[in-house]
Amino acid sequence: MTDLSRLIRPHSIALIGASDRPNSIGERTLTNLLDHSEFEGTLYLVNPGKTELRGRPCWPSVSALPTTPDVAVIVVPAAGVLSVAEECTARGVPFAIVLTSGFGEAGDEGERAQARLKEIADAGGMRLYGPNCPGLTNVNHRLGLTFSPSFPHDLVKGPIGLATQGGGLGRNVMQAMERGIGIGLWASTGNEVDLQVADFIHYMADAPDIKVIITLLEGIKDGAKFVAAVQRAAANGKPVIALKVGKSAYGQKAAQSHTASLTGSAEVNSAVFRQCGVIEVDDIDELVDTAWLFARATPAASEGVAIYTSSGGTAALTADAVGTAGLTLAQFSPATLEVLRTELPDYAAVDNPVDTTAAVLSDAALIEKTLSAVAIDPNLGCVIVPIALDYGNTTIQLARTIIAAQKGCATPIIPIWMSDRLGEGYRMLVEAGFAPPRSVGKGIKAIQRWVEHGRWRREHGADEPMTITAVPAPVSTTRSLSEAEAKQQLEAAGIRLLPRTVAASVDEATSVAATMGYPVVAKIASEDIVHKSDIGGVKVGLDNADQLRRAWQDITESVRRHRPDARIDGLLIEKMAPQGGSELMIGVTRDPVFGHVLTFGMGGIYVEILRDVTRRTLPLQPGAAAAMIREMRCFALLDGARGRAKADVPALEALLNRVSDFVVRHADRIEEMDLNPVWIGAAGQGVIPLDAVIVERVDPGVSA
Amino acid sequence: MTDLSRLIRPHSIALIGASDRPNSIGERTLTNLLDHSEFEGTLYLVNPGKTELRGRPCWPSVSALPTTPDVAVIVVPAAGVLSVAEECTARGVPFAIVLTSGFGEAGDEGERAQARLKEIADAGGMRLYGPNCPGLTNVNHRLGLTFSPSFPHDLVKGPIGLATQGGGLGRNVMQAMERGIGIGLWASTGNEVDLQVADFIHYMADAPDIKVIITLLEGIKDGAKFVAAVQRAAANGKPVIALKVGKSAYGQKAAQSHTASLTGSAEVNSAVFRQCGVIEVDDIDELVDTAWLFARATPAASEGVAIYTSSGGTAALTADAVGTAGLTLAQFSPATLEVLRTELPDYAAVDNPVDTTAAVLSDAALIEKTLSAVAIDPNLGCVIVPIALDYGNTTIQLARTIIAAQKGCATPIIPIWMSDRLGEGYRMLVEAGFAPPRSVGKGIKAIQRWVEHGRWRREHGADEPMTITAVPAPVSTTRSLSEAEAKQQLEAAGIRLLPRTVAASVDEATSVAATMGYPVVAKIASEDIVHKSDIGGVKVGLDNADQLRRAWQDITESVRRHRPDARIDGLLIEKMAPQGGSELMIGVTRDPVFGHVLTFGMGGIYVEILRDVTRRTLPLQPGAAAAMIREMRCFALLDGARGRAKADVPALEALLNRVSDFVVRHADRIEEMDLNPVWIGAAGQGVIPLDAVIVERVDPGVSA
């Protein structure tokens, strides 16, 4: 990827369309650059109608500039953008930021202009940011390449990097500065004609002033680029916290109409996020709570949490939420318990949760001593201090105590401010950098994600980087291979299948069956027919030649009646699956963003009614097959539940990996694949796909 | 239940332990009564050490008072409470509030004092509130029977009634007044030695100034009383919104150690809440958001929601959350679309969600006209206006517009304030009574509950009131009936079972089997053995006399080896279940709070691995059996999914109702019952319990 350092920390900038017309984009951007930035490089103002602006020289055009700027900030009206872009490429400008609207988001004409803009930039080797965006807000280095009138207030520097598409939601996150959240850099990429959110995640992954990355996505344009960027962040130990719109059909539709970007499937998105260790959240405020916890501390290996409060009801409420979230209340060490028992009154609860009772809340020394004792306990990863009430001075004292206790320990103390009264105690905590979550549920959700990501890092931090298969342009024509052909390809890929032969006549069928041994299955053999059962094209459990002959007649008659058009190769005669065992399903689809995705689950009702499936992009990483099998809700069924025999899980892992290899090797042509059912026997008996559908792309030049 | 009007709006009050010692409970309570209440009745101060307090006469004792007060507020130290209580009962005081701590919450001695306090009150016919509580806060009538120094700030009158046990969490809800939430009455019942949360819910159900009831529960002491109270509220059209601690083991343990009250099972609690239309929430802030929506408006029959915003990203985010919550985006009427198309720019989104775009945000008249057009659309129940940003004057203008638009329509407009910046626009919305939720997720959760409760009222508003079975004191001794005995009782109750006989000898067994016809099942018959299969006590699928004889020998040998002590009646010979069909399970347990509870689900893995069960208290209400069956996730399996035959659901409904009748008729003795598996055939084939366990209480006086 292109190094974006010169875009984000340029040495020279040209503002094209600089203006002094109050409230114009040109004037607002100029004001941000002159009055609210601390830019020490060269700033050129370009406006053909002026010779001077705010006491600075004004240049008539980019070509007239004495040197080539690192960044051209383009704020001229939409109609003028294309010619300015051409000038910039002619001059060899490496980066352009187009703040102007009226492109892809503004109907057909805008889309055409946007396509032309991309052509100009691509042809000239100029990287483009925007159009239709508020710009780039570099808080840590005080540089506002933005028209936003809010830039003067974006003053809380910090370790969070924010990469968004739309400006509105990004600005919402920026306003968390009000809670003391420090955001060092905000890129809002607008229409993403060239540079995307992923490019900025990639930049932030390497930027020394950014520790934690937040991203807000309506759609992902380039899956491979996104995966590379978030893995770069993971490799550098930086968590990426993402909110992706499009979990419901309403959200998908609205996001599509807003950004015209593909939203892909929410399930696939979430699966990719999990694979790459991206922390997915469900609401925009959760981005902030979660990111700030990561900014404050790296998750410890000790996953237990402590609760410290002076209200019994609050202790119970918080403990309840901790349990519901699947977190663990830490066991205090003997040293901690000793301090708590000695210092707190008899009627206090000293075991986790600690309830000091309100009676001692006014004794600041005692609170600080006991809270500190809890916070340095080695058995835990964080301390939650739920504050149910703003009780004025008492609460101010508590805030002071929390701030003091935190100074003595690395374990994060996490106050949760539950009250709607935001008094001085709240303000003190904000100023001291605690940015207290505002609800027990939201606070604990952040902690849960923090703990789980710590576990992910320990378990997957050293994994090889994952790759995904390419996403070619969609084709309108595909074709299904016949079952016989599909199975032949799978067998060639080392996948075990049952003996089978396509018989062209009933006599051939009985002879084939006699050789392989009864019982057998007979299925119509035709590449025109995918759903064979639906039209009476399948007979199972045929025990002898008579039954097979009758089946031949029944099947051929039924198929002729339902599909007189279909080309028939005969009947596929196949050995029956062994007795016993269970049914699984394995599917592969091509996601428009992330390429091939493998979906796996127990067959029949488990997948159809219970939706108990897991997903991974292909190729499967080492260990992924084993993990997929075990993360199914119904895994117990394969693992000997209710007195069943344990299933042949190693063979299943091998099958999943062979399917992955096969699809990756034929990634250019395979659009879809369905092994359903797949038979799995007891340990040692193996795994056998009983049916197989492969759907291929058809080259538009070749008729099927 | 006792009418609590004289407790909550007394004509005369005695404050026993009134004091002028700064910061004592007696002084704080006195200050609240004199300086911060608007009490026009008679107030007696009682303190034997004073003749006068703050210029008012002081009486030496309750017995010395000129008249009998409606309420005695007791704030003397714990050691003196019992004798004061005795004085009060002697005087015939109808209600006492004991604010003093040091009772049930304070060890064995405190518990003994509390038991004695209850005896005194019961014997004297005096109703008791407390002890160990902050008191009673009557905001709507400005009467503070409380020592809380916060009472002077509890000034936002309103339609919400709040009933809590602990004071801390209740006070947290009270601080929502900061957001404009009006809470008319708060009862915080402390140790609940007599009056419970349920008594106050009952009062609020009838109180004309209360429209919506919030309750916060750590445990429920009396299930029947609670059920009666919340049904009273439902009958009067008042929603009850509840947060019950104890959803996780941690929460149960912490609540138990805090209040010493039984928490019961979270699943049973939630089932009862659903049955009674109590709206259960997961976090304390959700209580407030949800209650306020009900306070603002009754859910409409039109369930659709509208989204109105000026940011495309926010529209997509909110639409996504609406979809994820299972809510419906309303279809606008032609008239609404006409206004939107005419007024908004071309590039705005006029379909739901409405995205005006930020360009027109400054045009207040246009915003008000279009927002009003949406809000009066008859096809929807509410309008969400997510406000992602505080943009100063623009946002103030938006707030003004929302306030104006709301004046013209009954449909609630719900602004969601997403920003951490709480500026003037926010304050205006708070003052105008919108109490904006602070996160999209929380706001939409409130709307979801509001919509769902509206549906519940339409579907269940006219149901007969439900009752529950009694909860006697626990017994330590129970006994399991033998399978034969259990089945005989069920058959007598009209439940269809398979033909079966206990055979005392192998010859009797073969003769019995010949009569009923093979195949048969043979099971050990002994009331000492419940888990028959585990010790080789069951043989199924016996096709002839030889197999039966072999089974007799195998079973008796195996049982003798495993359980040489067991008294054996012989073997139960039973006809095999018909071929095909599915397995179900029906269980009955006795909940320590809500009496008998029936649990029903698909058998085997569905219940054991997927926990796909539903629950109801007994007796089942009309329609409950049908609803239970249909609310199972796996119902499709009984309804013909995947080409199965439709199961005999009417017979299953009849069985559930017969089980309910049977248990209710024998409620005094039945502790537990387990029909597992229950066979269900295709329509017309019926439903048959194949195994039956009944566990009875054993009267301590009678040896088993």
Q: Cα torsion for A443, A444, A449, A450, to the nearest 10°?
A: 80
Q: Tell me the pLDDT tens digit for each residue of A500-549.
A: 999 999 999 999 999 999 999 999 999 888 888 889 999 999 999 999 99
A324 interfacial to chain B (CB closer than 8 Å): yes
B169/A317 touch (CB, cutoff 8 Å), yes or no: yes
State the smallest CA–CA distance between residue B423 and chain A in angstroms: 11
Residues of chain B contacting residue A285, judged by C-beta atoms under 8 Å apart = 418, 438-441
CA angle at A670 for the pair A669 and A676, rounded to the nearest 5°: 160
Q: Show which of A536, A556, A575 is a domain's final residue.
A: A575
> Closest Cα to residue A242, out of A171, A161, A325, A180?
A161
Q: What is the pLDDT of residue A636?
A: 86
**Average pLDDT of B519-538?**
90
Q: Which amino acid is at B221?
A: K
Contact B88, B96 (CB under 8 A): yes
Cα distances from A496 to residues A112, A488, A680, in angstroms, run 52, 10, 12
- Across chain A, mean pLDDT equals 93
Q: Cα(B404)–Cα(A574) distance, rounded to whole angstroms?
A: 74
B176 and B239 inside one domain: yes
Q: Cα torsion for A190, A195, A200, A202, to the nearest 10°?
A: 150
Q: Tell me the pLDDT tens digit for each residue of B132-188.
A: 999 999 999 999 999 999 999 999 999 999 999 988 899 999 999 999 999 999 999
- Residues near A123 by Cβ (< 8 Å), separated by ≥ 6? A89
Q: Cα(B244)–Cα(B220) distance, rounded to whole angstroms?
A: 9
Q: What is the pLDDT of residue B533?
A: 85
| In a domain? residue A532 | yes
State the smallest CA–CA distance between residue A312 and chain B in angstroms: 6
| In a domain? residue B142 | no
**A-contacting residues in B 417-456 (Cβ below 8 Å):** 418-422, 438-442
A311 interfacial to chain B (CB closer than 8 Å): yes
Q: How far is CA A15 from the centre of its chain?
A: 35
Q: Specify the range with the lowest mean pLDDT, choosing from A290-299, A640-649, B98-107.
A: A640-649
Contact B253, B213 (CB under 8 A): no
> Closest Cα to residue A244, out of A211, A276, A210, A202?
A276
A262 interfacial to chain B (CB closer than 8 Å): no
Residue of B181, B357, B420 to mutate, testing the A interface (most A Cβ within 10 Å of its Cβ): B420
Q: Specify the range with the lowest mean pLDDT, choosing from B310-324, B358-372, B377-391.
A: B358-372
Which residue in the set B176, B316, B642 is minimally distant from A420, CB to CB? B176
B322/A418 touch (CB, cutoff 8 Å), yes or no: no
B531 and B609 inside one domain: no
B105 interfacial to chain A (CB closer than 8 Å): yes
Q: What is the pLDDT of residue A599?
A: 94
| In a domain? residue B467 | no
Q: What is the pLDDT of residue B554?
A: 95
Q: Tell me the pLDDT tens digit for each residue of B125-138.
A: 999 999 999 999 99
B278 and B321 inside one domain: no
Q: Cα(B217)–Cα(B92) distance, rounded to whole angstroms?
A: 32
A49 and A109 inside one domain: yes
CA angle at B329 for the pair B324 and B335, rounded to the nearest 5°: 170
- Please state the pTM of the whole predicted model: 0.94
A347/B285 touch (CB, cutoff 8 Å), yes or no: no
Cα distances from A454 to residues A167, A239, A272, A299, B428, in angstroms, run 31, 10, 18, 5, 43
Residues of chain A contacting residue B389, judged by C-beta atoms under 8 Å apart = 168, 171-172, 175
Residues of chain A contacting residue B429, judged by C-beta atoms under 8 Å apart = none
**What CATH number has the domain bearing residue A678?**
3.30.470.20
Q: Tell me the pLDDT tens digit for each residue of A294-333.
A: 999 999 999 999 999 999 999 999 999 999 999 999 999 9
A512 interfacial to chain B (CB closer than 8 Å): no
> Closest Cα to residue A200, out of A468, A1, A470, A12?
A1
- Residues near A65 by Cβ (< 8 Å), separated by ≥ 6? A14, A44, A46, A59, A91
Whether residue A433 is predicted with pLDDT greater than 60 in this model: the reply is: yes
**What CATH number has the domain bearing residue A548?**
3.30.1490.20
A590 and A550 inside one domain: no
Task: State the pLDDT confidence band at B362, using cuts at 50, 70 and 90.
Answer: confident
Whether residue A586 is predicted with pLDDT greater than 80 in this model: the reply is: yes
Whether residue B528 is predicted with pLDDT greater than 60 in this model: the reply is: yes
Q: Cα(B660)–Cα(B599) distance, rounded to whole angstroms?
A: 11
DSSP character for A189?
A: -
Q: Where does residue B4 rank: exposed (0-12), middle (13-18), buried (19+ CB within 10 A)? A: buried
Q: How many domains does chain B have?
A: 5
| In a domain? residue A321 | yes
What's the complex ipTM? 0.93
Whether residue A228 is predicted with pLDDT greater than 80 in this model: the reply is: yes
B312 interfacial to chain A (CB closer than 8 Å): yes
Task: State the pLDDT confidence band at A704, using cuts at 50, 70 and 90.
Answer: very low
| In a domain? residue B484 | no
A314/B346 touch (CB, cutoff 8 Å), yes or no: no
**B-contacting residues in A 384-413 (Cβ below 8 Å):** 388-391
B123 and B256 inside one domain: no
Q: Show which of B520, B546, B575 is a domain's final residue.
A: B575
B317 and B453 inside one domain: yes
| In a domain? residue A525 | yes
**Full residue range of the structural domain in which residue A431 is found:** 299-460
Cα nearest neighbour of B637 on chain A: A605
B248/A320 touch (CB, cutoff 8 Å), yes or no: yes
| In a domain? residue A1 | yes
Chains A–B, number of C-beta pairs less than 8 Å apart: 263
Q: Cα(A439)–Cα(A418) distance, rounded to whole angstroms?
A: 5
**Average pLDDT of B366-386?**
96
Tokens of B169: 């969490």
Whether residue B703 is predicted with pLDDT greater than 70 in this model: the reply is: no
Share of chain B above pLDDT 70, in %: 97
Task: State the pLDDT confidence band at B403, using cuts at 50, 70 and 90.
Answer: very high
A182 and A273 inside one domain: yes
Q: Tell me the pLDDT tens digit for each residue of B456-500.
A: 999 998 888 999 999 888 887 899 999 999 999 999 999 999 999
A567 and A612 inside one domain: no
Q: What is the pLDDT of residue B704?
A: 40
Whether residue B229 is predicted with pLDDT greater than 70 in this model: the reply is: yes
**What CATH number has the domain bearing residue B7?**
3.40.50.720
Gyration radius of chain B's alpha carbons: 32
Whether residue A703 is predicted with pLDDT greater than 60 in this model: the reply is: no
**What CATH number has the domain bearing residue A201?**
3.40.50.261
Q: Cα(B57)–Cα(B47) distance, rounded to whole angstroms?
A: 10
A164 and A290 inside one domain: yes
DSSP code per residue over A253-268? HHHHHHH------HHH
B432 and B370 inside one domain: yes
Share of chain A above pLDDT 90, in %: 84
B165 interfacial to chain A (CB closer than 8 Å): yes
| In a domain? residue B627 | yes
Q: What is the pLDDT of residue A701?
A: 56
Q: Show which of B575, B605, B639 is a domain's final residue.
A: B575
Q: What is the pLDDT of residue B371?
A: 97
B304 and B401 inside one domain: yes
Residues of chain A contacting residue B313, judged by C-beta atoms under 8 Å apart = 164-170, 216, 218, 245, 258
A534 interfacial to chain B (CB closer than 8 Å): no
A166/B313 touch (CB, cutoff 8 Å), yes or no: yes
Task: State the pLDDT confidence band at A474, using cuts at 50, 70 and 90.
Answer: confident
Residues of chain B contacting residue A243, judged by C-beta atoms under 8 Å apart = 317
Share of chain B above pLDDT 90, in %: 84
B169/A313 touch (CB, cutoff 8 Å), yes or no: yes
**Average pLDDT of A150-168?**
94
Residues of chain A contacting residue B540, judged by C-beta atoms under 8 Å apart = none
A362 interfacial to chain B (CB closer than 8 Å): no
B314/A169 touch (CB, cutoff 8 Å), yes or no: yes
